[in-house]
Amino acid sequence: MKAFINQTQDIVSESIDGLLANDKLAKLDSFPEIRVVVRKDWDKSRVALVSGGGSGHEPTHAGFVGEGMLTAAVCGDIFASPTVDAVLSAIMAVTGDAGCLLIIKNYTGDRLNFGLAVEQARALGYKVETITVGDDIALGSDVKKRGIAGTLFVHKIAGQLAAEGKPLEEVARIARLVADNTASIGLALTECQIFGREGESRLNETQAELGLGIHGEPGAEIVKYTNADQLMQLTADRLNSQLTDANAEYAILINNLGTVTPIEMNILVNAFRKTTLAKKVKYIVGPSSFMTALNMSGFSLSALKLTDEIEKALLADAEPAAWINAHRFAEPASITSPVLTEMLPYKPSENTPARSLVEKAAKAFIAIEHDINSLDAKVGDGDAGATFALASKTILSLSDKLPYKNGKELLESIGRIFSREAGGSSGVLMSIMFTGAANVYEETNDWGKALLGGLDKMKQYGGAKLGDRTMIDSLEPAFETLAQGGSLQEAANAARKGADNTKNIKKTHFGRSSYVPEELLSGIPDPGAEAMARVFESLAK
C-alpha cells in the first residue's frame, strides 16, 4: 500500500509534530518517548479532561484538544494503547486542585494502562475520576461494548461543562450519563490496512461488513453490498433497535471512517434522512472524519439521547477545528429561483433538411459517447462524450419545438440548449460558438460563414487556436471548407485530417492537453477533435 510516510517507526511522532502547527497546542518535552499533546494556555484552574488511545484514528484524540473539549491527549502507537507512564505524565501535567476526568475507551489495553496510571496518580495525591465508554452495539449486550465514535459526545459534553467551571463530580456525572445514553454502529466496504503490512482483504466486491472492527479485526457480520440507501437503512435500523425510549429526541453523529469521499458522505446523510431513526433526530453532527480507522472505506452512526443539560452543552461552540458544531437536522430547503429567459423563446417552424442535419448530428454524438469518454479518460477526465451526449439528448427531446425555418433562431436555440444542459468547458464553448454563429448568420445568410464566425467567438473566449489539440483542430478546417462552398463530404474529410493531426501534437498552451505530460499524448487524438470529425463523417453519409 502506497502512503505519504517516511519511516514507519516515525509515523505517530511526525503526525503529532504536523498537528502542532496549531500554535495553541504543545507537546510534553519527554516526547517522543511519551507522546502527550496539551493545551498551551491551560492554567489548571478548572477540571482537566484527558483522553487517548492508539493512533490511527485521527483526528481522535489529539485533534480534539482545545477549549470546550480535551485538555490533553495521550497518543499510543498505531492501534496500540499508550503506556502507563505516558498516561500518568498527561494527568500530572494538566491536573490542578479542581481535579481531572480521564476518559477511557473500552478496550483491554486502554483499561489496563489508563487504570494503573489513575491508581498511581491518586497515590501521588491527584484527584482523578474515570469514565469508560462502550458505545458500540454491534456485538450485542452479552459482551463488553467497545468504545468508538460515540466517545466524541463524551469529550464534547464533559469538555463544555469543564469550560464552564463545573466541579469534577458534576462533570463526571454528566459524562457518565452521556456514555450510558450513547449507542454507535458502523458499516464498511473495506477493512483498514496498517502501514507496512500487506494482507488479503476479507471482503470481496459483493460484500460489506456491519459492526466493523476499527483496528483491522473482523466485524460482527458480513452483509451484501448494495446501494447507499439500503446499506444506510440496514445500519440505522440496527442502531434504532437499541434506542428503546420512543419519546426521546436524539443527536446523531455521522462519522467518516477514513476514505469515504465528501460527496459519498453527503449521499449517506441523505440516505439516513429516509430511515425510521431519522424521525427521532433533532440535531446532526457532521458528516466528517471524527474517529477514523486509517484508510477504511466506511461510516459509523452514533446516537445520543438528549436531556436539557446535554443539549445545551452539545450546542455550545468548541475550539478544536476537528469538531463540527451540531446543527438542526432539517429537510432540504429551497428558496425561489430567479426567472431566467426561456430556453426556446422562438416559435417552432419546419425545414426538413435542417431538421435532418440537426437530428442526425445529435444521434451521432449520442452513439459515440462511450468511445469519446474512453478516449478522454486517457488524456482528460473521461466525460467529453457524456457532455456532448447530454446536450444532444435534450436537442432530440425538443426537436419538435425548434425553429428550423429560421437559421439565426435555430443556431441561437441550439446555443441556449448547450448553455443550460451541458456542463464543463466544452458545453459553454459550444454555446458560445452557436450563439456567435446566429449573429453572423443574420448578416450573411450563409451556414459556413456563420459557423466559422461562431468559431472565432469560441477562440476569442476560450483562448485556444488551431494546433492546440482541441475540437478547433477539426472544426476550423471543416467550417472553412463550408464557408468556401465545399460539400459536407469535403468538410468531413478536412475535419478527419485535423483530428488525426492532433495525434502528433504534444506541446500546447490551451485546453486540457496543456496539463498532461507530453509522453501521454503521443499517438492519441484529442477527444473533442475526434468527436467532431466523427459527427461530420456521419453527416456526410
For all residues of the chain together, what is the average pLDDT? 93
314-318, 509-513, 522-526: which is most confident: 314-318
What pLDDT is attached to residue 200? Answer: 77
Report if residue 200 sits inside a domain.
Answer: no
- For 340, other C-beta atoms within 10 Å of its C-beta total 7
- Domain identity same for 424 and 478: yes
Q: Catalytic residue among 57, 215, 370, 509, which?
A: 215
Q: Is 489 exposed, middle or buried (0-12, 13-18, 19+ CB in 10 A)?
A: middle
pLDDT in tens, 393-419: 999 999 999 999 999 999 999 999 998
Residues 375, 525 contacting (CB under 8 angstroms) = yes
What pLDDT is attached to residue 421? Answer: 80
Our answer to whether residue 370 is catalytic in this structure is no
Report if residue 457 sits inside a domain.
Answer: yes
* Cα separations in angstroms, 319 against 159, 167, 438: 11, 21, 57
* Cα separations in angstroms, 287 against 56, 243, 284: 19, 21, 8
- Domain identity same for 378 and 296: no
What pLDDT is attached to residue 541? Answer: 87
Query: 9 φ, ψ to 5°?
Result: -70, -15
Q: Measuring CA to CA, which residue among 462, 479, 469 is closest to residue 499? A: 469
Distance between CA 181 and CA 250 in Å, rounded? 10
User: The dihedral of CA 147, 298, 302, 325: what is its sign?
Assistant: positive
- Domain identity same for 47 and 154: yes
Q: Which residues contact 209 (CB under 8 A, 6 or more apart)?
A: 187, 188, 189, 191, 202, 203, 218, 219, 221, 222, 223, 298
Count the domains in the chain.
2
CA 32 and chain centroid, separation? 33
Q: Could you tell me where the DSSP H helices lie in 241-282?
A: 262-273
**Residue 325: helix, strand or coil by DSSP?**
coil
Extract the runs of DSSP E, i.e. beta strands, from 380-526. none
Helix (H) or strand (E) holding 71: none
What pLDDT is attached to residue 363? Answer: 97
Distance between CA 492 and CA 479 in Å, rounded? 10
- Domain identity same for 394 and 321: no
What pLDDT is attached to residue 501? Answer: 94
- Domain identity same for 403 and 499: yes
Using 50, 70 and 90 to split pLDDT, how confident is the model at 217?
Answer: confident
Per-residue pLDDT averaged across 304-328, rounded? 97
pLDDT in tens, 334-369: 999 898 778 898 999 999 999 999 999 999 999 999
- Domain identity same for 239 and 177: yes
Distance between CA 99 and CA 163 in Å, rounded? 13
Q: Measuring CA to CA, which residue among 196, 187, 264 is closest to residue 56? A: 196
Report if residue 389 sits inside a domain.
Answer: yes
Report if residue 72 sits inside a domain.
Answer: yes
**Domain CATH code at residue 159:** 3.40.50.10440
Please confirm whether the linkage preceding 32 is cis (ω < 30° from 0).
yes
**Residue 511: helix, strand or coil by DSSP?**
coil
DSSP 30: T
Q: Which residues contact 324 (CB under 8 A, 6 or more apart)?
A: 285, 286, 288, 290
DSSP 64: G
What pLDDT is attached to residue 194? Answer: 86
What pLDDT is attached to residue 125? Answer: 98
**Residue 82: helix, strand or coil by DSSP?**
coil
Q: Measuring CA to CA, which residue among 118, 113, 61, 124 is closest to residue 84? A: 113
Amino acid at residue number 528: G
Distance between CA 233 and CA 330 in Å, rounded? 18
pLDDT in tens, 185-210: 999 999 998 887 777 788 999 999 99
Report if residue 314 sits inside a domain.
Answer: yes
- Domain identity same for 255 and 389: no
Q: Measuring CA to CA, which residue among 529, 166, 439, 494 is closest to residue 312? A: 166
Q: Measuring CA to CA, which residue among 217, 224, 231 is closest to residue 298? A: 231
Helix count and strand count (H, E) for the chain: 18, 13
Q: Is 251 exposed, middle or buried (0-12, 13-18, 19+ CB in 10 A)?
A: buried
Residues 406, 383 contacting (CB under 8 angstroms) = no
Report if residue 333 sits inside a domain.
Answer: no
- Domain identity same for 425 and 294: no
Distance between CA 105 and CA 51 in Å, rounded? 9
**Domain CATH code at residue 483:** 1.25.40.340
CA angle, 496 then 470 then 472, to 5°: 65
- Domain identity same for 144 and 269: yes
Residues 156, 319 contacting (CB under 8 angstroms) = no
Pick the last residue of a domain from 273, 293, 328.
328
Report if residue 242 sits inside a domain.
Answer: yes
Per-residue pLDDT averaged across 61-70, rounded? 98
What pLDDT is attached to residue 427? Answer: 84
Q: Is the pLDDT of residue 110 over 60?
A: yes
Residue 74: give the domain boundaries.
8-193+207-328
Q: Is the pLDDT of residue 512 over 60?
A: no
User: The dihedral of CA 31, 35, 39, 44: what is its sign?
Assistant: negative
- Domain identity same for 322 and 356: no
3-state percent helix, strand, coil for the chain, nearest multiple of 5: 45, 15, 40
Q: Which residues contact 7 (CB under 8 A, 6 or more apart)?
A: none
pLDDT in tens, 224-246: 999 999 999 999 999 999 998 98
Q: Measuring CA to CA, which residue among 481, 474, 433, 475 is closest to residue 456? A: 433
Q: Measuring CA to CA, which residue among 485, 399, 393, 473 is closest to residue 448? A: 485
What pLDDT is attached to residue 295? Answer: 94
Judged by phi (left if over 0) then psi (alpha if -120 to 50, else beta), residue 99 lies in: left
Per-residue pLDDT averaged across 463-492, rounded? 95
Report if residue 275 sits inside a domain.
Answer: yes
Query: 71 φ, ψ to 5°?
Result: -90, -35
- Going by their DSSP bridges, the two strands 298-305 and 182-188 should be labelled as antiparallel
What pLDDT is attached to residue 352? Answer: 96
Terminal-to-terminal C-alpha distance of the chain: 52
Helix (H) or strand (E) holding 202: none
- Domain identity same for 78 and 227: yes
Q: Is the pLDDT of residue 380 over 80?
A: no
Residues above pLDDT 90, as percent of the chain? 82
Pick the last residue of a domain from 313, 328, 343.
328
DSSP 349: B
- Domain identity same for 368 and 310: no
